[in-house]
Structure 1
Amino acid sequence: MTDEQSIRNGDAAPAPVGVVLHQLRIEAGLTGAELGRMVEMSQSKISRIETGSTPVAPEDAGRLARALGAPADVVARLVESAEATQNRLTDMRSAAGSVTASQRSVARMEAGVREFRVFQPAVVVGLAQTSDYARAVLVAAHEVRKAAIPEADNVVIPEALSARVRRQEVLDDPDRRFFFLLTESVLASAVVAPEFMLAQIKRLRQLAVQPNVTLRIIPAAAPWTIAQLHGFELLDSKCVVIDVYNSSIITTGAQDIALYRHAFDRLDESATSDIDPILDKYRRHYRNLLD
């Protein structure tokens, strides 16, 4: 049975989408360049799709299959298979090679994004962190990683910090919108010394009045609308990025993106834009600790 027949018959383990598209192209007697001209796609992209070196977007899978004359049921199965592949979490550390490279990879993904939606229940949103706060977060994550991987080198900290701070340059683009959602417990957690927490609170206050930034806080007494399991960053409707101790996890699946957008909207129902009283509360708290 050919791989195309496997796709057609719905076998449990059909061939990868790229392999099937390659076979369809060969059967159609087309070169990659000829197919590329038909669908307005570069020959190199088609080659990467066929070899599996790059994931194929569901819309690209459908467009290529239809151009190659595949029956409607085969097109549908290829699109479904591509979607299922996208709904998988990818470890950016494995793909990029290091924590620093992971930060740079996320920055590249953020480069073309117009709307950022970020929820954090544990630490200040990465794009809003001061350098001292960011350093403390990265050091804490690195210490956990080093406990499991003793040979982990401390040199990654300044590199990763530099990469994270450079990511914040996107905030200066007035054509981009940022929706930051924090829990009050983030402010209560003394991630850094009181004087640095005061600087972080000042930074949040500055961002809150920036025209392209919406900063909302979920008060400690607010009822839960949905479980606050972990932080995440939703980039347009393209992907979701989840920060963990030693990496970033990404998914580009439509189902995953819809799930996280729903989660963000439900969490936002408990939040308030009247954040000055909350920020003032913790400013007084950390000032008292300095006395």
Structure 2
Amino acid sequence: MAIEPDQLDQSGLELAAMLKHLRRQAGLSGVRLAVRCNMSQSKISRIEGNKLRPSLVDVEQILRGVDAPPAIVAEVMAMARIAQTEWQDRKALHRKGLDKKQLELAGLETATTEFRYFLLSMTTGLLATPEYIRESIVHAPPVQQDKVVGMKLERQAVLLDRSKRFTFLLTEQAVRYPLVSPDAMAMQIDRLTSLSLQINIRIGVLPMGVKFSNIPLSTFSIYDDRLATIETDLGAVVFRNPKDVRSLIDRFTLYETHAAFGGDARELLAEWAWSFRQ
């Protein structure tokens, strides 16, 4: 089923209204439902007021608490799954400020132990040189650019935390996309080679000739097994539903089997860096 951005925006409100309607239809007060669900009454109130995003388990408990029939359970659980998905419009993110986005990412990275990144067309800021970062945000307001470059570079410190594990899968297009001058591109690729030697970082590359997918591709990131994002040129979709996150983990694992790692990856990176130096 295709999910439209407007549908994502409305889904939380619709789910909250439906759960409140079902409680009232069952003749239950918030206190009585809370007891049936082993939740606090304040949590029920926040869910019904759309002030708290309920997990799928929360929704299942509430549906059992109101004795909802199977057809209603199926309908509401479908709504809950959509509500677990968030659309982030790229233009809205720019209006909000790229610096605020960097703070959000830094907080997410602090709370994550295992990171998985599939990079389709460009290198991520965590792996980028200052020149590459600056060119990647050239369309941002000039007053933000210096600050955002500095924040992106500060975020790279997370790579030094040996308690965290990183796997980056980059297509050849992502590695070789000529965002900066040839000399700067060679240095950017050299950085990938250097980081691939770090014990808690795995960098895999997928050369052009490798057929590793029969489905449309998008850049995506996975944080542990609790949250994932898919990025497009229009914005990003954030998934919190465990089934959706698991689906992306499975896809990532499949891509890994086709990627070159270690010495094989470094040979390819050296070849591509040399092509920019010639």
User: TM-score of the superposition, structure 1-length normalised?
Assistant: 0.74
Match of 2:274 among 262, 265, 284: 284
Post-superposition offset of 1:277: 1.0
Q: Which runs of 5+ in 2 are unaligned?
A: 1-10
2:203 is aligned with 1:203:
no
Match of 1:253 in 2: 241
Match of 2:102 in 1: 103
Q: 1:228 to 1:271 in 2, by over 3 A?
A: farther
CA distance, structure 2, for counterparts of residue 37 and residue 180 of structure 1: 45
Match of 1:82 among 66, 80, 94: 80
Kindly report which structure 2 residues correspond to 1:16-165, keeping only aligned pairs within 5 A, or say none: 16-23=14-21, 24=23, 27-31=27-31, 35=34, 39=38, 43=42, 45-66=43-64, 68-71=65-68, 73=70, 77-87=75-85, 89-91=87-89, 94=92, 97-139=96-138, 142=139, 153-165=141-153
CA distance, structure 2, for counterparts of residue 186 and residue 258 of structure 1: 24
SS at match of 2:180: coil
Structure 1 vs Structure 2 CA RMSD: 3.3
Match of 1:272 in 2: 260
Q: Which amino acid aligns with 1:28?
A: L
Match of 1:183 among 163, 166, 171: 171
181-190 or 91-100: which moved more?
Answer: 91-100
Q: Which amino acid aligns with 2:239?
A: T
SS at match of 2:142: coil
Does structure 2 retain, via aligned residues, the 8 Å contact 1:62–1:78? no
Q: Which runs of 5+ in 1 are unaligned?
A: 1-12, 144-152
CA distance, structure 2, for counterparts of residue 54 and residue 90 of structure 1: 18
Post-superposition offset of 1:178: 1.0
Q: Which amino acid aligns with 2:78?
A: E
Q: 1:104 to 1:70 in 2, by over 3 A?
A: farther
CA distance, structure 1, for counterparts of residue 80 and residue 145 of structure 2: 37
Does structure 2 retain, via aligned residues, the 8 Å contact 1:92–1:249? no
CA distance, structure 1, for counterparts of residue 41 and residue 197 of structure 2: 44
Post-superposition offset of 1:172: 2.4
Match of 1:192 in 2: 180
Post-superposition offset of 1:76: 5.4
Segments of 4+ in structure 1 off by > 6 A?
A: none
Post-superposition offset of 1:138: 1.5
Aligned length: 261
SS at match of 1:155: helix
